[in-house]
Amino acid sequence: AVGEKAVREEFPDAIILKPSEIFGREDRFLNHYANMRWFGGVPLISLGKKTVKQPVYVVDVAKAIINAIKDPDAKGKTYALAGPKRYLLYDMVEYIYAVSFRTFVPYPLPRPLYHLVARFFEMNPFEPWLTRDKVDRFHTTDMTFPDLPGLEDLGIQPTSLEQKAIEVLRRHRRYRWLDAELEEAKPAKTYPM
pLDDT at 1 over 70: yes
* List of domains in the chain: 2-184 (3.40.50.720)
| 77-115 pLDDT tens trace | 999 999 999 999 999 999 999 999 899 999 999 999 999
Give the pLDDT band of residue 183 (cuts 50, 70, 90): low
Average pLDDT of the segment spanning 127-142: 94
Note if the pTM is more than 0.75: yes
Above 90 in pLDDT, residue 70?
A: yes
The per-residue pLDDT for range 14-27, each reduced to its tens digit, is 999 999 999 999 99
Distances (CA, A) of 143 to 38, 54, 92, 161: 31, 9, 17, 17
User: pLDDT tens digit string along 30-46?
Assistant: 999 999 988 889 999 99
Statement: residue 182 has pLDDT above 70: no
Residue 106 and residue 103: Cα distance in Å, rounded?
10
d(CA 100, CA 106) in angstroms, rounded, equals 15
Instruction: Tell me if 23 sits within 8 A of 129, measured CB to CB.
Output: no
Closest residue by Cα to residue 102 from 4, 22, 190, 177: 177
